[in-house]
Amino acid sequence: MPFDLLTALMLFAFVSSVTPGPNNMMLMTSGVNFGFRRTVPHILGIELGFGLLLVAVGAGLGTLIHTVPGLSLAMKVVSALYLLWLAWKIAFAKAAKPNGEASARPITFGQAAMFQAVNPKAWAMALVAMGNYINDGDPYLSVLIVTMAFLVVGIPSAAIWTVFGVGLRTYLSDPKRLRIFNIVMGLLLVASLWPLLV
């Protein structure tokens, strides 16, 4: 891959990974409610799940979705329902207790990985990346490079949102503030459905 194209890919990967979206809102909320260490499996699950999504789209899944009637609509419906369920869980999440126990649990590695299959922002990122940065001369190597680029910038981007959430923990140690924060984050997650619906 030429250096200028690789630079453009890294910039696209960084901007699309670090900007707000369902994953980043959930990571910040998890940082607030559970701390950094307990959010690490969530971060790693996002990266693995998104990497697998990139490989699947690069292998032709994106083309299949556009050519099979009704498949795109079905995916949108499933994505919307799952995001609404997650928004409900976030809005009514309870923070970890001082002794480390929690009435709610952070999203697991597997849940975070599987979420990428219904995450509308992840699909948009994967389709754009594979549509713009694949070299027809060596598509397999291009898919690998695109996937690695997203992994290189994705983990630090996810960590930034988690650390931001952890930084808010002291301010949000008041249960009333935490409740308002969680409700706002749940509503923002619902708002992230807008691109899916238009």
Mind listing the pLDDT tens digit of every residue in the chain (198 residues)? Answer: 778 888 999 999 999 999 888 999 999 999 998 999 999 999 999 999 999 999 999 888 877 777 777 877 787 788 778 888 878 887 887 655 555 455 578 899 999 999 999 888 898 899 889 888 887 777 889 899 999 999 999 999 999 999 999 999 988 888 888 888 888 888 887 887 776 565
User: Quick one: which H or E segment has residue 122?
Assistant: helix 120-133
pLDDT of residue 96: 54
Residue that the structure tokens 């901007």 belong to = 15
- 116 token code pair: 């990428």
Q: Model-level pTM?
A: 0.82
User: Quick one: which H or E segment has residue 48?
Assistant: helix 40-56
Report whether 54 contacts 126 (CB < 8 A).
yes
Beta-bridge mates of residue 102: 96
Angstrom distances, CA of residue 98 to CA of 103, 173, 198 = 12, 10, 43
Alpha-carbon distance of 184 to 187, in angstroms, equals 5
What does the angle CA 140 – CA 74 – CA 157 come to, to the nearest 5 degrees? 50
E strands in the chain: none
Report whether 30 contacts 165 (CB < 8 A).
yes
Alpha-carbon distance of 140 to 19, in angstroms, equals 28
